[in-house]
Structure 1
Amino acid sequence: MMMKTSRIYSFIITFIIMVTVFINAALSDNKNTKIPRFISTKTNEINMRTGPNIKYPIKWIFTKKDEPLEIVDKFDQWYYVRDITGDFGWIHSSVLSQKRTVVINSNKIQNLYKSSNYESRIIAYLEPKVRCELKKCTALMCKLHCKNYIGWVDRKILWGVYDHE
Structure 2
Amino acid sequence: MRLYGIGMRWLLSILVFTIGLGAFSPTVAQDNEVPYWASIASSEVRMRVGPSRDFPIQWVYKRRGLPIKVVRVQESWRLVEDPDGTRGWMASSLLSRERTALVIGEGLVAMHDAASDQANLKWNVEPGVVGKLGACESGWCEFDVEGRAGWAPESRLWGTGAP
TM-score (structure 1 length as normaliser): 0.81
1:92 maps to: 91
Query: Is 1:142 the counterpart of 2:152 in the alignment?
Result: no
* Contact in 1 for aligned 2:30/2:73 (Cα 8 Å): no
| 8 A Cα contact 2:34 2:71, kept in partner | no
Percent sequence identity is: 23
Unaligned runs of at least 5 residues, structure 2: none
Alignment partner of 1:32: what SS? coil
C-alpha deviation, 1:86, in angstroms: 1.5
Deviations 1:138-162 (A, max 9, x none): 1310111112211111001111113
Q: Write the distance in 1 (CA, Å) between the matches of 2:137 and 2:53.
A: 40
Q: CA deviation at 1:32?
A: 2.4
Amino acid at match of 1:142: C
Provide the residue aligned with 2:131 in structure 1.
Answer: 132
Query: Residue 120 of structure 2 aligns with which residue?
Result: 121
Distance 1:69 1:148, change over 3 A: same
- Runs of at least 4 residues of structure 1 off by over 2 A? 1-23, 28-34
Report the alpha carbon displacement of residue 16 of structure 1 after superposing the two structures with TM: 7.6
User: Aligned Cα RMSD in Å?
Assistant: 2.9
**TM-superposed deviation, 1:116:** 1.0
TM-score by length of 2: 0.81
Shift of 1:21: 10
Q: Say if 1:65 and 1:7 are closer, same or farther in 2 by CA, change over 3 A.
A: same
Moved more, 72-81 or 12-21: 12-21
Does the CA-based 8 Å contact 2:39-2:66 persist in structure 1? yes
